[in-house]
Amino acid sequence: MSLAAVREGAGLTAAALAKRLGMPLEEVLAVERGLKPPRLCEAQKWANALGLTFEEFGRHFYGVSDQEPD
């Protein structure tokens, strides 16, 4: 699922998300468009703004899984 889809599912515009994150709209749009990844050091901030847990955010955007490897 894309970041834009998660944002829209949370009922947020890109501008509203940018305001919640305290970052420029252009930066949020660049992340949404895949031009730059969300910085890992800001992952909790993004998760909170989108109404996700840190783990959910990690699974969606970094391919992080809480399952043990085979």
Q: How many whole angstroms separate alpha carbon 47 and alpha carbon 57?
A: 6
The torsion defined by the Cα of 51, 55, 60 and 64, in degrees rounded to 10, comes to 170
Give me the pLDDT at residue 67, please: 62
- Assign 44 to helix, strand or coil: helix
Query: pTM (2 decimals)?
Result: 0.80
Domain ranges, ordered by start, for the chain? 3-62
Q: 3-62: which CATH topology?
A: 434 Repressor (Amino-terminal Domain) (1.10.260)
Write out pLDDT tens, residues 9-67: 999 999 999 999 999 999 999 988 989 888 888 889 999 999 999 988 888 777 666 56
Q: Which two tokens stand for residue 5?
A: 């889809």
